[in-house]
Amino acid sequence: MIKNMGRTPYRHFFTHILLSVLDVHIPSNVEAIKRAVSIKIGKEVSWNTVKKYLEELVEEGKIEKIKAGKILMYRKKVL
């Protein structure tokens, strides 16, 4: 049996980073999360990329979306 020795898909890498910067108690907006991820990986990330993967994590039930007026905030779900 031959194993696929390719690169780890970006999705797995990025979602792991997103989950590591989110907190269970303190929600953050997309801009704050984008800044934290950019610092953690050492390069600028797109707002759209962060938003895309945040929405995927909401659908998977790993994080929750909180609406505060017109502001969307996210935090890690307590499992």
Name the 3-class secondary structure at 9: coil
Q: Which residues contact 6 (CB under 8 A, 6 or more apart)?
A: none
Residue that is written with structure tokens 């909180």 in the block: 66
Residue 51 is encoded by which pair of tokens?
């938003």
Domain ranges of the chain: 10-76
Helix (H) or strand (E) holding 49: helix 47-60
Q: Which CATH class is domain 10-76?
A: mainly alpha
Predicted pLDDT of residue 3: 58
pLDDT tens profile 2-42: 555 566 677 788 999 999 999 999 999 999 999 999 999 99
| Residue 29 CB-half CA count within 13 A | 7
Say how far apart CA 64 and CA 61 lie, in whole Å. 7
